Chain A
Amino acid sequence: MKKKLNHNLIIGYFLIALVMLMAVVGLFYTPYPVNEMNVLLKNQPPSFAHLFGTDQFGRDIFSRVMEGASTSFFIALCVVLVGAGIGTLTGAITAYFGGWLDAVLMRVNDVLAAFPSVLLAICFVAVIGPGTYNLIVALGIVFIPSFTRVVRSEVLVQKELDYVRNAKLMGAKNLRILVFHILPNIKPVLKTSLLVGFQNAVLSEAGMSYLGLGVTQPDPSLGRMLSEAQGFLWNAPWYALAPGLTILALTLGLGLVTSDKE
């Protein structure tokens, strides 16, 4: 049983590393300029010159996937940072201090959680408009409630434990107890929800960009590449496969690593 789980972990890390390598290299170097068009090379199948073929404007799909992967990584990372940062803060404070603040914030949280996350993100983007940074804000807000809930329930348990009482008796300030005593103890749980959150963020970003509510032209995005590729399924099916499989590799890798942590 133990050995099989390790298999999952190795494959998971390998998949994440693969996409991450593409994303990081894509920041500095792509085989072709991402927006270079070439009418003579429209919808070419994969070859040595163009590993994943070319799109309807003759742009190199491999280069665009590389840059799309870094966009996805960047957005997902920011979204998780915003969501986890604010979520942890509100979760910890409401649980630790309780009172009316807890009641009010939890009500707000409940209402936010009532919306399906995609719908809520769509609402925010509808109000503030599409674009990379707006998408980060929208998805970031959408991701807050799940982190708040996880952290809140953990802190509620931890704050009744003896070590917290001890620390209080020794005169430690509330902030010190939260940051140096409770936080290290909820780290394992937080780590898992960070991984789950990252996977969800990648999927949401791709979905929003697919719907045309995320990353705007001309920045390459894996989700938007898929929606463009859909029009060329007849004569260039590889166009859809490249960004789709890249997203799948990343989310599957994250899923495998998370399932091992559980």
Chain B
Amino acid sequence: MKFILKRIGTLIITLVIISFLSFLAFSFIPGDAAVANLGMDADEAAVEALREELGLNRPVVVQYGDWLLSALQGDFGESTQYHLPVSELVAKRLPATVTLALYSMVLICVISFPLGMLGTNKPGGAVDTAMTVLSQIGMAVPQFFLGILLTFFFGIVLNWFTVGGYVSPQEDMAGFLSFLILPAVAVAVPKCATMTRYIRNAVVAQKKMDYVRTARGKGNSEKRILLNHVLINVMMPVVTMLAMMAADVLAGSIVVEQVFNIPGLGRLLITSISNRDYPVVQAIVVYIASTVVIMNTIADILYQKLDPRVR
């Protein structure tokens, strides 16, 4: 319990630092909202008056406190490009990104475990070597290039889906889910490759342990040893690794959304940057970073709960 409280304490401090840094970074950008609203050659007095009205002439720390208080109530200000509340914009784009990330995580789990254990009966054998080569290629391929290749083969050569034909979940749930499969593959493949490699190395290392020899001596089959003995011991580091991967998966979706033209958080982030819509950028950055930190904390706590040796 003490451990959990301590972890949550660190979490809160990290979250505050993250939000403060993001806030600070965007307050350094020359040209504030007052100038942006009135134009470059506006009257100096008018700009000053608007600054006063928007509260931009107060110290950064005060402005941050204000922003944090309203952010905690779900109010992230107003987008300067759409003139809509930021929270509304983000909420609208969230389902696509979250679904894409979840899809990718499921793919990573489903694919990496069997592939990682494949060929571990004979390290260095033909199957193991083939898996090594495959995972090397998988780790090296950029997600967006993979996305383009998938678009080409499945969208243009085979014509299985409409290129850029995203449908929102409100319109057509099945269409939405099936459209996101290929983007999820593009996000997941490099991570699958890393994970497969990681599981393979862990399994090979575990198989050299004494308890495996004992299990073999008791007459267990190789399959039983792998599934009932080795896998449990491999599970712990793998769960941590998966939680850390969640960050990469979210970051990967930012890029892959661009490839498949999916209106998710990533696309909103990129368009907001080119339109200098900083309230939106700020909110998305804080949102993604916080998600990552919270996930890591949950993984830490779970890890500690699952494995008494860590306590």
Contact = CB atoms under 8 A, between A and B. Distances in A.
Given A211-B258, A230-B259, A127 B251 contact: no
A132 B68 CA distance: 34
Contact of B254 (A122, A223, A229, A230): A122
Interface of A: 1, 4, 8, 107, 110-111, 114-119, 122-127, 199, 203, 206-207, 210-213, 223, 226-227, 229-230, 233-234, 237, 240, 244, 247-248, 251-252, 254-256, 259
Contacts of B144: 206-207, 210, 223, 226-227
Given A111-B14, A111-B21, A212-B270, A255 B285 contact: no
Contacts of B132: 8, 259
Interface in B125-160: 129, 132, 136-137, 139-145, 148-149, 151-152, 155-156
Contacts, number: 127
B281 A233 contact: no
A259 B288 contact: no
A117 B148 contact: no
Query: What interface size band does chain B fall in?
Result: 35 or more
10 contacts: A115-B18, A123-B25, A125-B273, A207-B144, A210-B258, A212-B270, A213-B270, A233-B148, A248-B141, A255-B139
A116 B148 contact: no
Interface of B: 14, 17-18, 21-22, 25-26, 28-29, 123-124, 129, 132, 136-137, 139-145, 148-149, 151-152, 155-156, 163, 247-248, 250-252, 254-255, 258-259, 269-270, 273-274, 281, 285, 288-289, 292-293, 296
A118 B273 CA distance: 14
B2 to A, nearest CB: 21
A248 B20 CA distance: 38
Q: Is the interface of B mostly helix, strand, loop or mixed?
A: helix
A233 B152 contact: yes
A260 B296 CA distance: 30
Contacts of A254: 140
A123 B136 contact: no
